[in-house]
Amino acid sequence: MREFNEQEIVRRNKVEEIRKSCNPYPDKYETTHSLKEASTLADETKNVSVAGRIVFMRKMGKLSFLKIRDIEGEIQLSIKIDLVGPEKYEFFKSNIDVGDFIGAQGEIFTTHTGEKTLRADNFTFLGKALKPLPEKFHGLNDIETIYRNRYIDLIMNEESRTKFLFRSKLICEIRNYLNSKGYIEIETPILNNKASGALAKPFITHHNALDIDLFLRIAPETYLKRAIVGGFTKVFEFARCFRNEGIDATHLQDFTMLEGYGAYLNYKDNMTFLREMLQTVVMNLFGKLEITIEGKTIDISGQWEEITMRDLILKYSNIDIYEFDTKEKLLDKIKTEKLEIDSETPLENLGYGNLVDQLYKKVARPYVTGPIFLTNHPISLSPLARSNDDNKNLTDRFQLIINGAEIINAYSELVDPMEQEKRLIEQANLKANGDDEAMMMDYDYIEAMEYGMPPISGWGIGIDRLVQILTNSDNIKDTIMFPLMKPIDKNN
């Protein structure tokens, strides 16, 4: 049996009182303006109808003021006994609380303190809040409570409202840019027979009707490429992806990835394309090409520096990955240098490419301010990427790094089905030997490739991480409206 505190009991009793005169939960309400629009109207604008949640209220004898809010705006209402009548005014004073929803009609004016206000000549009750809002935001200082009860955070915290509106606008700007460049948005499956498209540990689920185990999508890559085989030349998808790996300030197991692929392009083309796209989007959103992260101002205008993975690792360590070019040599060197590398998979079980990647993340990536394009990744780290014509041990690939975070991963795609089959066999052997992040063999994808692929270059952008960078957020969960949380046992 649930128990309610005194305030909750009072509010529940008010619901019954409201029922005596109206439905406490009506089905609709006609508005003429959003709150944001109403707050900009000229004084003496008449017949304005708005609705929102009450977030502040000052009840007085014959005149009361309240503030209503939604995700984009707020406006003050004045309710006066002379305009709404004694009976309705008493209803307001007796039954309406902060947190309730209300609609009001009337005329816009500005108070002597300069606050835009709607002088209500009528109001309609639109919904009772059975739980009171925190009187002050100090009630949500606990970060876990903020993540768990994001709806209260959004009601109370302007910074959170601004951040999630920004996220929506960012996605809209990117989508508009891609559409303007001839990219077509498509959808690919979340449930896959193979964990493919990236090097990562997958989530496994079971399909009851088919009685088969399936994998949640690691990345949409191989299906977007199938669309290229089918005749699309430029495709993209905002894809929810799932990787059963660790949580930290810049990583979550479920996240939003934007991936795009263009036929007849190479990775150099996409360096230019993606730089121009991000610069255009940031300019449209901020009106400038400078972003502030952790107190640092980062200029993203102009050209961006290119640096090889080898040179970046050498810059911050004594390890030349061209000299230590096998797993055994590199592992011995890491041990000699007494580097403590955190990896969910034991270093001894990693293939050479993943070992290089773990080394880079330990010794170099945290010190990159950027923006920089990181290039020349080992071939075994990029099983779906095209090898470089001059050095077959490297790939035609780049990553965009800003403030130690990987924002974009892109490469010229491997379109040779025989070479792809060979690499996936090597990946399958690594997985069999304990490398959980290696890829599975995927003959269905190989068969699609065998029908012929044009030259392709593709890219992926972590949307959550991009929002984190652009909003200077400490934790990637700050950019996820409803992050996954462990359930609380409420004994109900």
What is the tens place of the pLDDT at every residue in 29-63?
A: 999 999 999 999 999 999 999 999 999 999 988 99
On the question of pLDDT at 292 being above 70, the answer is: yes
Predicted confidence (pLDDT) per residue in 369-422, tens digit: 989 999 999 988 888 889 999 999 899 999 999 999 899 999 999 999 999 999
On the question of pLDDT at 321 being above 50, the answer is: yes
- Give the mean pLDDT of 107-133: 96
Choose among 37, 15, 32: nearest CA to 104. Answer: 32
Query: Would you mind telling me the total number of residues written for the chain in this entry?
Result: 492
Query: What residues contact 1, with CB distance under 8 A and at least 6 apart?
Result: none
Predicted confidence (pLDDT) per residue in 250-285, tens digit: 889 999 999 999 999 999 999 999 999 999 999 999
Residue 70 structure tokens: 């939604």
Predicted confidence (pLDDT) per residue in 214-238, tens digit: 999 999 999 999 999 999 999 999 9
Which residues belong to CATH 2.40.50.140 in the chain?
6-127
pLDDT at 139: 47
Cα 198 versus chain centre, distance: 19
pLDDT at 490: 62
On the question of pLDDT at 466 being above 70, the answer is: yes
- The better pLDDT of the pair 194, 285 is held by 285
Q: How confident is the model at residue 196 (pLDDT cuts 50, 70, 90)?
A: confident
Choose among 43, 485, 478, 427: nearest CA to 200. Answer: 427
Percent of the chain exceeding pLDDT 70 equals: 98
Classify strands 116-127 and 74-80 as parallel, antiparallel or unpaired. Answer: parallel
Cα 274 versus chain centre, distance: 18
Estimate the crossing angle of helix 463-470 against helix 158-180, to 10 degrees: 120
- Give the mean pLDDT of 63-68: 97
pLDDT at 136: 62
Residue 382 structure tokens: 């990029």
Q: How confident is the model at residue 138 (pLDDT cuts 50, 70, 90)?
A: low
On the question of pLDDT at 128 being above 60, the answer is: yes
Q: Please identify which residue in the block is written with the tokens 């915290």.
A: 157
Q: How far apart are CA 290 and CA 313, in angstroms?
A: 27
- Give the mean pLDDT of 63-77: 97
Q: What is the residue-averaged pLDDT of the chain?
A: 93
CATH architecture for the domain at 158-479: 2-Layer Sandwich (3.30)
The CATH class for the domain spanning 6-127 reads mainly beta
Which residues belong to CATH 3.30.930.10 in the chain?
158-479
- Give the mean pLDDT of 324-353: 88
Choose among 430, 402, 396, 432: nearest CA to 415. Answer: 396
Q: What single string gives the DSSP state of each residue in 226-293?
A: HHHHTT-SEEEEEEEEE-----BTTB-SEEEEEEEEEET--HHHHHHHHHHHHHHHHHHHHSSSEEEE
